[in-house]
Chains A and B, each alone.
Chain A
Amino acid sequence: MVSEHDVRHIAGLADAGISPEELGTFTHQFNAILEYFDMLDRVKGDPAVERELYNVMREDEVEPALPQDEVLRNAAAKEDGFIRAPRVM
């Protein structure tokens, strides 16, 4: 069982931005869904996955990228060729 307090904590971790009015509904729905997930406690099997295929990464070499104005086009706030972001500190 998760409480409203737990859900508020998770919302904070996820930066999900839930409103106080939503807290009750989310908590109720979470408990129904997590109760369903609890069946996974009964799963038996080897956690090791047999792999025949692997991800293939390209070499880490500099390649042509999008021009700066294209990259910045969708940013709402920018300054001197940079993207403006909220303060971190």
Chain B
Amino acid sequence: MAGTIDFAPEDRFNAFLAICDQPQYGDGPLAGIPVAVKDNISTQGIETTCASKILKGYVPPYDAHAVTLLKNAGAAIAGKTNMDEFGMGTTTENSAFGPTLNPCDTGRVPGGSSGGSAAAIAAGMVRMALGTDTGGSIRCPAAFCGIVGLKPTYGRVSRYGLIAYANSLEGIGPMGRTVSDVNTLMGVIAGHDRRDSTSQDRPYAHTPDAAIKGLKIGIPEEYFGAGVDPEVAAKVRTAIGKLEELGATTVPCSIPSMEFALAAYYVTCTCEASSNLARFDGVRYGPAADTRKSWHEAFQEVRRAGFGTEVRRRIMLGTFALSSGYYGKYYAKAQVARENVRKDFLRILADVDVIAGPTMPTVAFRLGEKSDPLSMYLADILTVPANLAGIPSISVPCGKAGGMPVGLQIMGRHFADERVVDVAYAYEQAVS
């Protein structure tokens, strides 16, 4: 069985940057299901821009490994979704092609950076989508739009064909309306790929199991501390109470290294970005560099015109942090802080099965609310620890605060993606 489907949704929320109106599909577990793909994941023959003017018109000559696997599973590639430029943002407002709106309230952001994927699912345009998560970019929009999003263990899904922003932190992951859909999509995209040097041979073949009796859940005090909206915290505590009713036990725990997690994250990702984004020079792809000018002159001209403000800000911050005399102060210290986060998680997860807390400290911001870069960065405090440690983490909707969706975040041991999916599934089944 194979063919094409008609896919012509009305995109009222600017969720898509490209729509494939008659995508092909084949046989397999995703036969005939339209799946949207975030625009920083390469799709052969379909324009891929990372929501940046510097890649306008770029048509990849090859598919990302995750996209090849989607096609092998019969999926129909429905289109490319909007995002913060190169994944740099928490709202999808940093797109060169206009912000995506939150389908739950169009005066608010969908979260980011995978905001287009989340909005497309929340609006019912697609059942599932691929996102990427560097510091919360799958889980934040999942929480803000009221859908499910999984950041897999680092190394479990190939990054081949993912246009790099911060390689040591980022990964591709599944997003969907239900935990079951996320589980199905994860089963398709996980597995070894020799073209990604960090890929692990850990395929994912799992049927969600809602039996969580005896499960031990760690509740870190830092996830309910200052800066977390009390109404959001209350919703998440109620959700954890539901897990207790299902037979789980909870124990308080502490992640002291979280104090430095956000600074460590932003130093690391900006340093990696300054190196990764050096390739965008208007020579091999993107808008033409003026070949009559000198290299640096032409390069700077292309990058000023092609990159948005946040992208240039992060490239410059990273360049500064890596520059002579500052490496030890910023990058080296950030790596110590990162290792401390990883050790804290290993210590806690030796005693508990999973760790639970809010995905985001607040509900979705109003459009334009976070105009200052530092205040935007601070919103990532509850999601970046999982990226620093490389552990799996899922966000599942757990009610509303002030009319907007709230996400329950469940983090687990390295390669125990199945476990966090089970806990999310147990919660979802209990409340639906």
Contacts and interface: CB of A to CB of B under 8 A. Distances in A.
B245 interface: no
Interface size class, chain A: 35 or more
Nearest to B375: A32
Given A45-B339, A57-B197, A76 B304 contact: no
A72 B48 CA distance: 16
B339 A46 contact: yes
Contacts of A77: 283, 288-289, 291
Contacts of A14: 274, 312, 315-316, 318-319
B321 to A, nearest CB: 8
With most chain B CB atoms within 10 A of its CB, the pick from A7, A33, A39, A66 is: A33
A10 B260 contact: no
A53 to B, nearest CB: 7
A43 to B, nearest CB: 5
Contacts of B267: 37, 40
Given A15-B281, A37-B267, 15 more contacts: A2-B320, A11-B316, A14-B318, A16-B312, A17-B305, A22-B309, A30-B317, A33-B373, A40-B267, A40-B329, A47-B335, A58-B194, A73-B61, A76-B283, A86-B295
Contacts of A87: 291-295
Contacts of A70: 61
Contacts of B372: 29, 32
Given A36-B263, A77-B291, A49 B339 contact: yes
A40 B300 CA distance: 31
Contact of A40 (B59, B263, B281, B312): B263
A85 B260 contact: no
B291 A85 contact: yes
A57 B195 CA distance: 8
B194 A53 contact: no
Interface residues of B, number: 71
B289 A85 contact: yes
A26 B290 CA distance: 26
Contact of B320 (A10, A39, A57): A10
Nearest to A2: B320
Interface in B267-306: 267, 274, 278, 281-305
Interface of B: 57-59, 61-62, 155, 194-195, 197-200, 259-260, 263-264, 266-267, 274, 278, 281-305, 307, 309, 312-313, 315-321, 323, 329-330, 332-337, 339-340, 372-374, 377
A73 B318 CA distance: 31
B274 to A, nearest CB: 6
B260 A40 contact: yes
Nearest to A69: B61
Given A39-B259, A40-B264, A40-B330, A15 B299 contact: yes
Given A10-B319, A41-B329, A17 B312 contact: yes
Contact of B287 (A7, A12, A29, A76): A76
| Most chain B CB atoms below 10 A, which of A2, A17, A86 | A86
11 contacts: A11-B316, A14-B315, A29-B374, A37-B263, A37-B321, A41-B329, A76-B289, A77-B291, A87-B294, A88-B294, A88-B295
B329 A7 contact: no
Contact of A15 (B199, B300, B334): B300
A60 to B, nearest CB: 13
Interface string A30-69: 1011101101111111110100010111100000001000
Given A36-B374, A73-B61, A43 B340 contact: yes
A66 B302 CA distance: 26
Contacts of B59: 73-74
